[in-house]
Amino acid sequence: MSEKSTPCRLLLVTVTILTLAITGGWGGISSASNSHSTNPPPTDIIIDVKTRKFEPDKISLQRGQKTRIILRNKDAELHAFVPVGLFLGTTHNVSGNGAPQFGNEGLLRVLLPSTGQTEISFTPENTGTYPFLCDLPGHVMQGTIVVQD
């Protein structure tokens, strides 16, 4: 073995060992195995809509806590979820089979089909009390979301 190949081999071995340690190949340093994740899962809030009522109709959220509101229509009729002011100044994502309606203030309402489900993911930024309701004719359904520090 020549003297020129020894430093190259030493470098190759060192790089290999560091790569395995960093990627967790030897059970070494690995961010994937870190039990203290810096990105905690969202808090799930399930609101069932049945017999023309929101259940629960009083909800508490923490400001700055990732949240997913899951709306489940258990009725055979169409309903709406109208959150008054809750999503002002927030980034939110709406998924599911509901029909979201947006305006200058962001999400204005979601129409929930019979036995449908919609999920709204967001992080509440402003503390306060926010009413929500169903604005369809004859539906006297309402509730309150309180965002606290």
User: Above 90 in pLDDT, residue 84?
Assistant: yes
Of residues 14, 19, 16, the one with CA closest to residue 6: 14
Same domain, 79 and 20: no
Confidence of residue 2 (pLDDT cuts 50, 70, 90): low
Same domain, 48 and 24: no
Task: Report the CATH number that the domain containing residue 135 is assigned in CATH.
Answer: 2.60.40.420
**DSSP, residue by residue, the chain:** --TTHHHHHHHHHHHHHHHHHHHTTTS-S-STT-SS-SSPPPEEEEEEEETTEEESSEEEEETT--EEEEEEE-SSS-EEEEESSTTTT--EEEEESSEEEEETTEEEEEEE-TT-EEEEEE---S-EEEEEEE-STT--EEEEEEEE-
Whether 54 contacts 60, CB under 8 Å: no
Domain hosting 125: range is 43-148
Whether 118 contacts 81, CB under 8 Å: yes
Confidence of residue 7 (pLDDT cuts 50, 70, 90): low
Cα–Cα distance measured from residue 89 to residue 105, given in angstroms and rounded to the nearest whole number: 8
User: Above 90 in pLDDT, residue 8?
Assistant: no
User: Residue 111 is encoded by which pair of tokens?
Assistant: 């129409």
User: 60: Cβ–Cβ under 8 A, 6 or more apart, which residues?
Assistant: 145, 146, 147, 148
Same domain, 53 and 120: yes
Same domain, 70 and 14: no
Same domain, 77 and 14: no
Same domain, 56 and 127: yes
More confident: 37 or 64:
64
Our count of domains for the chain comes to 2
Cα–Cα distance measured from residue 109 to residue 44, given in angstroms and rounded to the nearest whole number: 19
Same domain, 48 and 89: yes
Q: Is the pTM of this model over 0.85?
A: no
